[in-house]
């Protein structure tokens, strides 16, 4: 793909659609059910308008931030998205290395197909996101493995007690594991760049990909006609399981999937160090509130925690709006996985550069020299203005 034709994160989606079989593209793109949450994640940013301030010296502006004792070069990172090695050859490693080169956070998904040890060697500052297994012993084994590999930040995703709604996936031929079928074979044959450059290349080099980090032991293969994805014993999860993880983990503990002040308070009570306000990119419960809507309440409820956000970030303006409402860092998943599908590590690097340049440019236009200079006073809540009669309806 000619990256010179890619001018923003949105542009990667069309290239990924052409490159990937329909089933794989569906896994990245689709939201839950009618995708109300997915759409709301984007429209929530339109609620807020900037209030620029003029004639400030912004010539020395920078966007470096500190999280958990490490200085990063930008206030955004790459969210965990499963199956990265199916979008590009060694896709998880390409994402992790690119984030390391650009010095931004990268979170390896627990549903990845590359061993967490391999990613840690390629990107020693990577974070690890886990879906906790159902017993104390298995929790301890998984977290001991991550700690042994050198991970310091553990992200626990708590918003998936059951499998996601399957109708859109079924329509596009996706399942976990993938089921061999004539339709899936046709999808592969009609996407030869992916078939030969990603899937068959992976088979030759490494054998059939497996869920390598779902549990302490190797999980299911990505392709199987009979196996079911192991999601048992997750609908009985409680805060006691988080306490067990806290007892077993010596590094920073971050809880992802929080959308209310009440749950943010519980995060503080169980000893978490951080929160990622998230609705899983609109992939779990439909008709949920957006993280941008939830963010002020969560920030107010957990003043001692590092509050971050994901879901819907596509522009530098989105990054700065979220920071104005209290986020210390934001994450995006889909666009960077589209980028790795389009052009591997080069695509991810280009995407990170584009977002960094947008933040840099917008800081100058808004009259600030650092992202944390953003605060609620730098935004106008247009919905509140309309409700109070100060603006006509949009």
Whether residue 190 is annotated as binding a ligand: the answer is: no
- DSSP β-ladder status, 107-108 and 76-78: unpaired
Whether residue 5 is annotated as binding a ligand: the answer is: no
Whether residue 197 is annotated as binding a ligand: the answer is: no
Angstrom CA distances, 141 to 108, 127, 216, 302, 375, stand at 18, 18, 6, 30, 42
Whether residue 110 is annotated as binding a ligand: the answer is: no
Integer Cα distance of 213 and 266 in angstroms: 27
Whether residue 187 is annotated as binding a ligand: the answer is: no
Whether residue 234 is annotated as binding a ligand: the answer is: no
Whether residue 277 is annotated as binding a ligand: the answer is: no
Integer Cα distance of 181 and 188 in angstroms: 11
Whether residue 372 is annotated as binding a ligand: the answer is: no
Whether residue 266 is annotated as binding a ligand: the answer is: no
Integer Cα distance of 184 and 190 in angstroms: 10
Question: Which residues is 153 bridged to in the sheet?
Answer: 252
Whether residue 215 is annotated as binding a ligand: the answer is: no
Outline where the chain has alpha helix (H): 12-19, 22-29, 36-46, 91-102, 116-122, 136-149, 167-172, 182-189, 192-194, 200-206, 239-248, 261-269, 291-301, 316-324, 334-366, 382-387
Whether residue 31 is annotated as binding a ligand: the answer is: no
Whether residue 129 is annotated as binding a ligand: the answer is: yes
Q: Catalytic annotation on 353? A: no
Whether residue 271 is annotated as binding a ligand: the answer is: no
Integer Cα distance of 113 and 219 in angstroms: 9
**Are 219 and 211 within 8 A, CB to CB?**
yes
Angle, to 10 degrees, between the axis of helix 316-324 and the axis of helix 291-301?
A: 30
**Are 249 and 299 within 8 A, CB to CB?**
no
How many CA atoms within 13 Å lie on the side-chain side of 385? 12
Whether residue 310 is annotated as binding a ligand: the answer is: yes
> Which candidate in 191, 280, 360, 370 is catalytic?
280
- Residues annotated as binding site? 27, 80-82, 109, 129, 131, 157, 256, 278, 280, 283, 310-314, 333-334
The annotated binding site for glyoxylate is made up of: 27, 131, 280, 283
Provide the annotated binding site for FMN. 80-82, 109, 129, 157, 256, 278, 310-314, 333-334
Annotated catalytic residues are: 280
């Amino acid at each position: 793909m000619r990256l010179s034709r890619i001018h923003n994160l949105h542009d990667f989606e069309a290239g990924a659609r052409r490159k990937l079989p329909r089933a794989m593209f569906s896994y990245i793109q689709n939201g839950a059910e009618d995708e109300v949450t997915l759409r709301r994640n984007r429209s929530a940013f339109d609620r807020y308008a900037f209030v620029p301030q003029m004639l400030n010296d912004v010539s020395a502006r920078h966007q470096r931030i500190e999280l958990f004792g490490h200085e990063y070069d930008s206030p955004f990172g790459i969210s965990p998205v499963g199956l990265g090695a199916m979008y590009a050859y060694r896709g998880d490693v390409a994402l992790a290395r690119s984030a390391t080169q650009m010095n931004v956070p990268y979170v390896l998904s627990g549903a990845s197909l590359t061993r967490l040890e391999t990613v840690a060697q390629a990107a020693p500052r990577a974070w690890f996101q886990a879906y906790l297994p159902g017993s104390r012993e298995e929790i301890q084994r998984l977290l001991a493995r991550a700690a042994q590999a050198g991970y310091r930040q553990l992200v626990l995703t708590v918003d998936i007690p059951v499998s996601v709604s399957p109708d859109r996936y079924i329509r596009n031929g996706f399942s976990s594991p993938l089921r061999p079928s004539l339709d899936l074979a046709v999808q592969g044959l009609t996407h030869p760049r992916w078939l030969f450059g990603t899937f068959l290349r992976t088979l030759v080099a490494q054998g059939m990909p497996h869920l390598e980090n779902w549990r302490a032991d190797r999980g299911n293969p990505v392709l199987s006609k009979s196996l079911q994805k192991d999601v048992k014993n997750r609908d009985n999860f409680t805060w006691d399981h988080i306490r067990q993880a806290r007892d077993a983990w010596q590094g920073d503990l971050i809880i992802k999937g929080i959308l209310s002040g009440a749950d943010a308070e519980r995060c503080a009570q169980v000893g978490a160090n951080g929160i990622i306000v998230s609705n899983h990119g609109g992939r779990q419960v439909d008709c949920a509130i957006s993280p941008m809507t939830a963010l002020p309440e969560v920030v107010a409820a957990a003043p001692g925690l590092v509050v971050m956000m994901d879901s819907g970030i596509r522009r530098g303006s989105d990054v700065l709006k979220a920071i104005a409402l209290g986020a210390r860092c934001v994450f995006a998943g889909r666009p960077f996985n589209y980028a790795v599908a389009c052009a591997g590590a080069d695509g991810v690097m280009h995407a990170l550069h584009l977002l960094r340049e947008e933040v840099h440019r917008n800081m100058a236009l808004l009259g600030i020299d650092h992202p944390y200079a953003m605060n609620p006073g730098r935004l106008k809540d247009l919905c509140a203005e309309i409700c109070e009669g100060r603006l006509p309806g949009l």
